[in-house]
Amino acid sequence: MNFNNHKKSILIGLTAFIIGGLCVYLYHGHEYEYNLNFSQDRFTDEYEFISPLLECDSFESKELNSFDEGIYESASLLMENGSIDDLSYYFRDLNNGVWVGLNEEEEFAPASLMKLPLMISYLKQSEDDPSVLKQSYTFNIEDDNYGKQNIVPEELMSIGIPYTVEDLIFRMIAYSDNSALRILLKNSGTFGLRVFNDLSIELPEDQSNEDFMSVRTYSKFFRILYNGSYLNFANSDEALRILSNTQHKDGIVSGVPEDIVVAHKFGERENNGIIQLHDCGIVYHPDKPYVLCIMTRGSDINKMSSAISYLSEYTYKEVSNSFK
């Protein structure tokens, strides 16, 4: 991939829905010139992981040229030293909507990243029928899908034991448990893909096409959770709490200080010797929480994981330096 032929983006996106003087995020962004910024009031009293937007105003902000150039140079270096073959990067400031992207529209195979929208769909269904989360299903031998995981969950389910939907969701996200995913998919009925329809995210008609998700599109799932704009506030907060318990501590997590909370989901796929490794989530920087989504292709999963960690560390330092 020649980075000189790919688009680099510095844009500000803000999705606003104004009701009675309130400015509330919806699902899709509207792009503005990047010399704008926004002040905001958020509802934060009762919840740990979400920060619903209540009111906003605009004012001038400094440009992000150095940030954008640094990401471009870092990605180019990682490509040159053989750490990765392809890379997409997307950063979005959750306080003001500023975003920086590199190849942010390139599509990858989401793999286990798809577990997040399934969780969101179950939680959305529970708002209509709370009993959904209390239903239990027995783990049977035909549900065992652990043999197809390169990153094996730290805690496996036991054959013949019933598990509630709540427990299966936690295992699917925190442990990236493929067996829990299989049970939830099997019992999701027609609502399993609800969130894709509601957010107008198209899935490929040809199921053999694995590469259909971009970093920019995937970031929508984290934005609607953080802003409490799709699920109710309690479910949005619970979803991010589960994501903050993700077992995978490489990638984005290893690039930030140990005391920083990261609510994230990783995904990995290997097909014909080509590995894809992705990590996307919210980094709860004390001054400026942000979404970071990185997707990669390559042949060495350890180098790819290190590349994601490197970009995560660079991003955190850039965000921190903006407050000095």
pLDDT digits (tens, 9 = 90+) for 46-78: 788 887 764 444 333 445 667 878 888 988 888
Residue 27 has pLDDT above 80, yes or no: no
Quote the pLDDT of residue 149. Answer: 63
Would the pLDDT of 272 be above 70?
Answer: yes
Distance CA 108, CA 164 (A): 32
Give the chain's length: 324
Residue 297 lies in a domain: yes
Q: Which residue range(s) make up the domain with 91?
A: 65-114+192-321
The residues near 229 (Cβ < 8 Å, ≥ 6 apart) are 24, 25, 26, 27, 52, 223
Averaged pLDDT, 129-157: 82
Phi, psi of 47 (to 5 degrees): -125, 150
Q: Does the pLDDT of residue 26 top 70, yes or no?
A: no
Query: Can you give the pLDDT at residue 153?
Result: 77
Distance CA 181, CA 197 (A): 20
97, part of any domain: yes
77-122 residue pLDDT tens: 888 888 789 999 999 999 888 889 999 999 999 999 999 999 999 9
| Tokens linked to 112 | 């286990």
Whether residue 30 lies inside any domain: the answer is no
Q: Shortest CA distance to 90 belongs to which of 73, 75, 103? A: 103
Rounded distance, CA 324 to CA 320, Å? 7
Our count of domains for the chain comes to: 1
118: helix, coil or strand? helix
Cα(216)–Cα(100) distance, integer angstroms = 10
The values of phi and psi at residue 220, to 5°, are -60, -35
CA dihedral sign, ordered 261, 44, 288, 23: positive
Q: Is the Cβ–Cβ distance between 112 and 182 less than 8 Å? A: no
Average pLDDT over the chain reads 81
Which pLDDT score is estimated for 157? 83
Residue type, 168: L
Across the beta sheet with 30-32, the strand order is 30-32, 8-14, 98-102, 86-93, 290-298, 274-283, 262-271
Is the residue at 95 inside a domain? yes
What confidence score (pLDDT) does residue 323 get?
A: 65
In a domain, 76, yes or no: yes
**Domain assignment present for 42:** no
Q: Is the pLDDT of residue 4 over 60?
A: no
User: Which residue type sits at 317?
Assistant: K
Residues contacting 178, CB < 8 A, separation 6+: 112, 145, 146, 148, 149
**Amino acid 35: pLDDT:** 35
With 60 as the cut, is the pLDDT of residue 38 above it?
no
Task: Give the span between the Cα atoms of 184 and 163, in whole angstroms.
Answer: 11
Amino acid identity of residue 320, one-letter, is S
If you search the block for the tokens 């000095």, which residue do you land on?
324
CATH number at residue 305: 3.40.710.10
Task: Give the pLDDT score at 102.
Answer: 92
